[in-house]
Amino acid sequence: MRPKTLNFEQLVKQNKQELLDDKKSISQIETRLEMKQMKLVQNKRKKA
């Protein structure tokens, strides 16, 4: 069976939701990277 075709508005809504989900994921990854960087800096300072 062929998948149901979506109309333009549905596609826009779906794409918008996917973009928002991606934005959340990217934000979480950025936060984790910042935390990791802070830990590395703190460890360097302790060793110095």
Residue 32 predicted with pLDDT over 70: yes
DSSP H helix total and E strand total for the chain = 1, 0
Q: Mean pLDDT across the stretch 19-25?
A: 98
2: tokens are: 């062929």
Question: Measured over all CA atoms, what is the biggest interatomic distance in the chain, rounded to whole angstroms?
Answer: 66
Q: What pLDDT sits at residue 39?
A: 96
6 within 8 A of 14, measured Cβ to Cβ:
yes
pTM: 0.69
Q: What pLDDT sits at residue 2?
A: 61
